[in-house]
Amino acid sequence: MDAVGEESGRRSVHRSRSFLVTRRGSFSRMTLPTGTSEHRRDAATRAPVQVAIVVVSDNRTAETDESGPLVRWLLIQAGHTVAGQALIPNDEANTRTHVEALIARDDVDAVILCGGTGLSAKDRTVEAIRPLMEKELPGFGELFRFISYQEQIGTAAILTRAMAGTVNGKLIVSLPGSKAAVELALKKVLLPELQHVMHELRR
């Protein structure tokens, strides 16, 4: 444990071979392993990712939903393609059927779902998509909750079951329905690694 400049006595730091993390969890320096840097560089040359957006909600309409349009805007700003956008009821069987149809399409590389990740009886998105997955990416949900805890909602972050996984070379991501959570997840977690994930899936 080292003292760092004027922050000595107010925060502690832990050093590793590649980065330094403060007690608050922010990264002050990071040096990526050579392999990761190379994979990211290769991934950056890939074609835009084609993403289908699904908002799962019983009380939103196309006019009142803000999360779906935000996902669309962030994807397009990042240079990706929106392959479709839908608003469907919070129903487990219907959600699974809808996602199955999307991942069967040749023009869909990834599916992003918003809503249905909470603890209420109606929140069944995770239950709908988990049986479809060949591999889960637990780090996605872990990192999203960690950043949510730090930057947005504190310990209430434990209430979200946001997750991601893969099936047949496609990526499925399940996010909370709130606009703030969607923006955080895409900007801080998903978009920085989206092409990298797709690159790994196609190797």
Which residue range(s) make up the domain with 185?
Answer: 47-201
Residues 101 and 24 in one domain: no
Residue 68 included in any domain: yes
**121-156: b (≥16 Cβ within 10 Å) or e:** eebbbbebbeebbeeebeebbebbbebbeeeebeee
Write out pLDDT tens, residues 143-189. 999 999 999 999 999 999 999 999 999 999 999 999 999 999 999 99
Using alpha carbons, select from 175, 53, 195, 169 the residue that is nearest to residue 104: 169
pLDDT confidence tier of residue 32, bands split at 50, 70 and 90 = low
Same domain, 70 and 163: yes
Residues 23 and 62 in one domain: no
CATH value at residue 185:
3.40.980.10
Residue 104: exposure state from Cβ atoms within 10 A (0-12, 13-18, ≥19): exposed
pTM for the complete prediction? 0.80
Contacts of 154 (CB under 8 A, 6+ apart): none
The predicted-structure confidence for 108-131, as pLDDT tens digits, reads as follows 999 999 999 999 999 999 999 999
156 within domain boundaries: yes
Does residue 85 share a domain with residue 13? no
pLDDT at 34: 57
Count of structural domains within the chain = 2
Same domain as 23, residue 100 = no
